[in-house]
Structure 1
Amino acid sequence: MARKRILALVTLLLAVLAATWQRARAIEMLPPDFDEGIYLPLAYRYAEMLAGGRWGEVMAYRENFEHPPLVKLLYASELRVSGTPEPDWETVHVGRPIPEPAVPVFRQTRWLSGVLGILQVGLIGLVHPVGALLLAFDSYHVKYTSQAYLEAVPGLFAVLAVLAFERARRRAREAGRGEPFQLAPLALSGALLGVTAAGKYPYGMVVGLAFLPFLAGYARGRVRVWAALVLPALGMFLLAHPALWQSPVARLWESITFHWDYSHSKHVVRSALPWYQPLYHLTHATPTEWHKGVFATGATVWVLLPLAALGLPATLRQRPVWAAWALVGLVFLVLWPTKWAQYLLLVLPPLCVCAGLGVSTLYEFAASVLRRRVSGSDQPSQG
């Protein structure tokens, strides 16, 4: 047992070190990307509003309204505190080297994203260290948590929400009082889920749907259990989403319906990505083709889905919430019309957990075969 714990700790440390090295490399080497050209100028506009204490303008600001402002406000706060000057955006071009005057803003905001991506790897390592090692090197996770995108913040809070939800179930079983959930960690999970949704809507929706079977199956008719999750989730969602403060229902509906309209827009339709595009991404390390020399390896895609499929039965037994997240996330990616590559980060953490348990399944199978052979060779020969 001690040997297994030491091996797990060493693997976790290697995963965190690898994640840090790979993301530091990507932060410095990746050229400007499409969405960075949207979010970073907006961060400066938000920084100007924050500097003047103009929260009314923050609430009323309409640019990029389809996405909640939380991550852009975090970027804005960092730029304001650091005093990083705004570059001339006319000199910044997608896919080209970052102009020298623009390097500080990219470095500052990308490191905010990168640190949260590294923390995701570390937290996944607490669930399964081999899963953390896979996530550390996954080229999609590296790319989109090393750029000033929206993915790293809701991704981290989604992992934290799932860990708290698991703790609520485990603590209830340990207490032995017949309750399906312990309310304090369940309320914490709800609050984290609210921040997740305030970072980017699909993360909150997918994780919330993953929680639903456990609530419906084990907390049916227990109002206080549902309230312990739902009320903190709604409260934190509204608190972390200032664009909704003036008219929550109307503005939320407008923001969400934009995504449906956008998924059927000319831009998405013209891209003509097939329904299985997420599965293609999961089996092809396209960032290594887009940005040659940046990523250490693209080999994780060769093993991720096979190992996750192999580990799914064990995950359903041992960590069922992660299995539910992986399955709900895959269904969402296949059904949702918008197929951009960054959407994979919705499902990579739970898939890596399943894949880690797939490695454990292979190890246990190999060990049992070896034990049978050894015990067979120890039998006295007959005759």
Structure 2
Amino acid sequence: MMNRPSLTTWRRLATILVVLLISAAALGLRLRATQLLPIDYDEDDYLGAAQRYAQFLAAGDVRGLVDYAYNYEHPPLTKLLYGAAILPLPPAPLLPERPSTDPPAKSLPQPHFRIARTVSAVLGALEVLALTILQPLAGLLLAVHTWTIKYTSQVMLEPLPSLTSLLTVLFYINSRRSRSSGRIRAATGWSILSAVALGLTAASKYTYCIVALAIAADAVWLALAARSLRDDAAARTLRDDAGALDHPLRAAIFELLLWGLIALAIFFAANPRLWSDPFGRLAQSLRYHGEYAQSAHVQQYNFPFWQPLVYLLGPVPWHPGVFVVMLDTFITVLAGLGLGRLWREYRVCALWLAIGLGFLLVWPTKWPQYILTITAPLSLAAGLGFRAALWEPLLRSVQRRRADGRTAAAARHAAAAQRVARRDARRAIPWLTPGIIALSLLALFPLIYQAAVALTDFNAISIRDGIQGGVWRAVWQGLTGQAQPVAVGIFESVTRTKEVHWAGPSVLIQLLGGAEPDLLAFNLLWAALSVSLQAVLGVAAALMLHRRGVRGRNVWRTIFILPWAIPEFVGALIWLRILEPGFGWLALAQGIPADALRAQAVAGPNATLVQLLVAATWYGFPLIMLAATASLKLTPDEVYDAAAMDGAVGWQRFRWITWPLMLPLLAPALFVRGIFAFNQFYLFYTMRVEPPTITLATASYYLFTPTGYFGGQFAVSAAINIFTVLVLLGLILWLARLTRGEATEEVTYA
């Protein structure tokens, strides 16, 4: 009699099936993109290099492999792989070696171009396979990420280093797991594989080597954690036979050096161009990137430093019909929800994401393909975020309902509680009615009317019809199927008529799908930076004035509160007079010529952001200071005395004593300032800033005002307002969840 497969066996088979299905879907999406995507920048350059490498390989010309200098700024491994793929094909006329800044070629030789793109798609699917094995939902999200599909379906450098950098981290994770379970030999093997993958990554494209920084940071973190437990005999690991490496940090550094040397050896072995002059040609290649980042070609685009966030918050905008689904915005939102779990479960991937994003924000070259350095950890964070924020709460809710329905007593108790709640509600209705009416007139009706306007094409031309009931007529016709929706775009010239028409939720769907990621990216960045600076300055001022022996404490507090007492519009006017180019107080005080200061002021969005942050921090920090001061006054001195007896000083005292006790009062102030910052309007309007440094509220005003080329689009302005409300609700729920544990924690003093 045959044994039936166990439940564990069925689960393994189901997991294997899911992994294969996700990988097959990833390959199918990328093969589809290889057929539909037009020829992009650099594809002709890399295919031309592949043609020449194929010639060298066919002729056994080692000298040609070593001395081929076109496109020398990038390592040759990916181009060598493309060359090996087209090697069996009949030779085609060589593509000319043109400057990389030239427009892409109009046609490329076939089937060489198709084969090279297919190799790219296979490598992209293998990356998805590797991530799916670690976390299936993360692999699915990476499989449908449009930027990843685009640049792993073209003849680009990204597919191979994307795969090998992910393998570098995955092999490192396996090494750590093997070490923690006592399998030292397996840990050593995985560590060597990680080093090999890192060497191949460096031989493919330099920027992907940020994974090495993440792994080094994680290894040092673990070593410092082990060092803090040095009194525990079980924590004294990483000791060699001679007992020389009995210090965890020293041992970790030694292992990292060995790991780096192996990776360096693989890098030189896989980079033929370095065989004749390793250090000279490597320095030449690296120097090119620094010079190119400061070149006129890069500076002419004048991208803000937060441009990578724009790419991450929206799908590829250039190729309609190529991508089956466009979920990039939701992937980034889910990644934000999963950052905490990513840190707890895969700290090295969290470090990879943080270091990579920091590099992308700092590095002057802002091409969209660079974000592929972090799309793998981003997808992993998104998968964990979906599980933590959506899937697990849903399961817990279902389990609670099942548990509540198991006993008749629980059902009777729930029914009785509902009857009591309904009775209390009926008794309260007469007292609540005036407030409900006032709330409906002042808040709910304007919101409902604005939502109705967002479903139409209401504009300045049709204002008479809209005010006389055209908005409600159009909405009724659309909801009842009597009218077909008209096309309405964002920041687009539209055909306007004197009647209001049904447009449907198209504009809102465009916004939710990432149609204007530059607005959302700046708005989120602005809220985060302005509130963070206000919090730092406000808490610092409160701490300084709370110290013993400070003279004139109340006077200083009064002075610091003055910016908050000044109306926001007036404060914005003050800063406009200070920073106005040419005739502002700053220009007059420093004697700077008007033209020179004006050139500095309009040099780019980065300088504009700095000026705006200075003004916002000035009139935003007093509220934070007041909340911090109140919390400090409520904290008894006995807590600090006990901490001093335990040896807590400086940063430890603030991190573990002051900050947790301050957060319950500070969190509401941060919420309020965050809402004000996200809806900031007066400052941007008064300072006369233009896109991309405007908030959603400012964009809504520009679209609403019946002046300018895109002005008078009331419906689009209303849709942006509804979208802002939805984003704010999401941010409030997310921040409330982050601070719930610490902000509501009760403190008991003995």
Which one of 363, 379, 383 corresponds to residue 336 of structure 1? 363
Equivalent residue number for residue 47 of structure 1: 54
Aligned twin of 2:193: 188
1:366 aligns with 2:370: no
Shift in Å, 1:267: 0.4
- Partners of 2:105 and 2:387 lie apart in 1 by 40
Could you tell me which residue of structure 1 aligns to residue 372 of structure 2? 345
Partner of 2:603: none
Give the CA deviation at 1:7.
5.9
Q: Hey, what's the Cα distance between the residues in 1 that align with 2:96 and 2:281?
A: 30
SS at match of 1:306: helix
Instruction: Work out whether 1:258 is the aligned partner of 2:285.
Output: no
Q: CA RMSD in A?
A: 2.4
Alignment-derived partner of residue 697 in structure 2: none
Aligned pair partner of 2:20 in 5, 13, 27: 13
Residues 334, 5 of structure 1: alpha-carbon distance in 2 compared, 3 angstrom cutoff? farther
Q: Give the AA of the match of 2:73.
A: E
Q: Which residue of 2 aligns with 1:127?
A: 134
Structure 1's unaligned 5+ residue stretches are none
Q: Is the 8 A contact 1:139 1:295 kept in 2?
A: yes
Please state if 1:210 is matched with 2:220. Answer: no
- Name the residue aligned to 1:356: 383
TM-score, normalization: structure 1?
0.90
CA contact (8 A) 1:14 1:133 kept: no
Alignment of 1:153-232 (within 5 A): 153-175=160-182, 182-204=187-209, 206-217=210-221, 218=223, 220-222=249-251, 224-232=254-262
Distance 1:174 1:22 in 2: 39
Cα 1:231/1:338, change in 2 over 3 Å: same
Once the two structures are superposed, residues 324-378 of structure 1 have per-residue CA deviations (whole angstroms, 9 ceiling, x without a partner) of 2111111111111111111111011111111111111121122223333443454
Tell me, in whole angstroms, the C-alpha distance in 2 between the residues paired with 1:185 and 1:316: 22
Deviation (angstroms), 1:226: 2.1
Q: Does 1:242 align with 2:246?
A: no
What SS does the corresponding residue of 1:40 show, helix, strand or coil?
A: helix
Structure 1 residues 133-142 or 210-219, which shifts more?
210-219
Residues paired across the two proteins, number: 373
Deviations 1:264-307 (A, max 9, x none): 10000001111111110111112xx3122111121x11211111
Q: 1:65 aligns with which of 66, 72, 76?
A: 72
After superposition, the C-alpha distances for 1:3-54 in whole angstroms (9 at most, x for unaligned) are: 8766654543332122121111111121211111111112112222222222
Higher share in helix: 1
Q: 1:5 to 1:368 in 2, by over 3 A?
A: farther
- Percent identity reads 36
Where 2:57 maps in the other structure, the secondary structure is helix
TM-score normalised over the length of structure 2: 0.47
Q: C-alpha separation between the residues in 1 aligned to 2:250 and 2:115?
A: 48
Q: Which residue of 1 aligns with 2:85?
A: 78
Moved more, 373-382 or 71-80: 373-382
AA matched with 2:22: A
Counterpart in the other structure of 1:150: 157
d(CA) in 2 for partners of 1:29, 1:184? 42
| 1:73-119 CA-partner distances (Å, limit 9, x unpaired) | 111122222335236669x98485x46xx231111111111100001
Residue of structure 2 in register with 1:56 after alignment: 63
Q: Distance in 1 between matches of 2:146 and 2:294?
A: 28
Query: Does the aligned pair in 2 maintain the 1:31–1:94 contact within 8 Å?
Result: no
Q: Distance in 2 between matches of 1:372 and 1:43?
A: 60
Spell out structure 1 runs of 4+ moving beyond 6 A: 87-90
Give secondary structure in 1 for the equivalent of 2:147.
Answer: helix
Q: Distance in 1 between matches of 2:387 and 2:298?
A: 40
Deviation at 1:312, TM superposition (A): 1.5
Distance 1:261 1:238 in 2: 23
Letter matched to residue 353 of structure 2:
A
Q: CA deviation at 1:169?
A: 0.2
Residues 64 and 93 from structure 1, CA distance in 2 versus in 1: closer, same or farther, beyond 3 angstroms?
Answer: closer
What letter matches 1:131 in structure 2? A
Deviation at 1:63, TM superposition (A): 1.0
Distance 2:348 2:66 in 1: 35
Answer whether contact 1:15 1:132 (CA < 8 A) is retained. yes
Equivalent of 1:306 in 297, 322, 333: 333
Match of 1:110 in 2: 117
Quote the Cα distance in structure 1 between the aligned partners of 2:105 and 2:309: 25
> Is 1:282 matched with 2:312?
yes
What corresponds to 2:436 in structure 1?
Answer: none
Distance 1:198 1:171, change over 3 A: same
| 2: CA distance, partners of 1:319 / 1:214 | 10
* Structure 2 CA distance for aligned equivalents of residues 176 and 311 of structure 1: 31
CA contact (8 A) 2:332 2:378 kept: yes
Aligned to 1:270: 300
Aligned pair in 2 of structure 1 residues 86, 328: CA closer, same or farther (>3 Å)? same
Q: Distance in 1 between matches of 2:294 and 2:11?
A: 50
Q: Give the conservation status (yes or no) of the 8 Å contact 1:183–1:228.
A: no
Structure 2 Cα separation of the partners of residues 153 and 192 of structure 1:
10
Question: Helix, strand or coil: the match of 1:65?
Answer: coil
Structure 2 residue identity aligned to 1:302: T
Range with greater deviation from structure 2 (223-232 or 316-325)? 223-232
CA deviation after TM superposition for structure 1 residue 183, in Å: 2.2
Aligned pair partner of 1:293 in 321, 331, 335: 321
- 1:199 aligns to what SS in structure 2? coil
AA aligned to 1:342 is: Q
Which is worse superposed, 371-380 or 138-147? 371-380
Kindly tell me: are residues 198 and 87 of structure 1, through their superposed partners in 2, closer, same or farther at Cα, counting changes over 3 Å?
closer
Counterpart-to-counterpart distance in 2, 1:377 and 1:47: 70
- Greater RCO between the two (CA within 8 Å, min separation 6)? 1
Q: Point out the more displaced range, 314-323 or 369-378.
A: 369-378
Deviation at 1:122, TM superposition (A): 0.9
> After superposition, what is the alpha-carbon deviation per residue over 1:213-239, rounded to whole angstroms, capped at 9, x for unaligned?
122232520155224411210110110
How far does residue 200 in structure 1 lie from its aligned partner after superposition? 0.2
Which amino acid in structure 2 is aligned with residue 28 of structure 1? Q
Alpha carbons 1:120, 1:155 under 8 Å: kept: yes
More displaced stretch, 307-316 vs 151-160: 307-316
